[in-house]
Amino acid sequence: MKMLTEGISIQSYDGHTFGALVGSPAKAPAPVIVIAQEIFGVNAFMRETVSWLVDQGYAAVCPDLYARQAPGTALDPQDEAQREQAYKLWQAFDMEAGVGDLEAAIRYARHQPHSNGKVALVGYCLGGALAFLVAAKGYVDRAVGYYGVGLEKQLNEVPEVKHPALFHMGGQDHFVPAPSRQLITEGFGANPLLQVHWYEEAGHSFARTSSPGYVASAAALANERTLDFLAPLQSKKP
């Protein structure tokens, strides 16, 4: 029987502590997926994502990456005032500290009793950008990013990626204009461990079920590719 647990406390590299939502699969040990949030915090879609991955046989850890600014943030992207609050939190977010907090969450995940020792990161929006930076640090066995913003500014990190990483990007994403799309495609092409798929009919947040920009066909294909990409972590081989 799967379980979702709150009230978890994780300590980061600088002594900062933060909470996390943890999902345990029916069968263990299992690979653990650390889920990096969108700009809206650990909200309903993040809970939905935890549940989805647990149903696929993974353990999951979704850390509160806004704990340094506003612990317990869980915003509704369809509420205009809450969207504005999310944008302000995003603009003030410390990416370096976020990478450090994710490293702590990954360390926590890798050593849980239900873990088989293999850990991947799946991130959305803000979390999609963090997924690339975490992959460049070598903290995870695999990384997946959905519509990460600002990837074109981090391409100097491409040679540092030493484990497979997969990215899903909307071809109509207004946060990623055409010149940025070209830079990302060319930059990622320099490292065979990096894959990027462009969903030409989709914009930003195309995989979030509650989003006005949700594109069911693109979301289904991206999620199918994600599960195929993560599947080797289920192997009993080292």
| Positions marked active-site | 125, 173, 204
Instruction: In whole angstroms, give the CA distance from residue 61 to residue 107.
Output: 11
Tokens of 21: 């939502």
Report yes or no: 53 and 23 within 8 Å, Cβ to Cβ. Answer: yes
Instruction: In whole angstroms, give the CA distance from residue 236 to residue 30.
Output: 10
Query: What is each CA distance from 72 to 22, 46, 65, 113, 118, in whole angstroms?
Result: 14, 13, 9, 26, 27
Instruction: In whole angstroms, give the CA distance from residue 193 to residue 91.
Output: 30
Report yes or no: 121 and 102 within 8 Å, Cβ to Cβ. Answer: yes
Peptide bond into 29 cis (omega under 30): yes
Instruction: In whole angstroms, give the CA distance from residue 197 to residue 185.
Output: 9
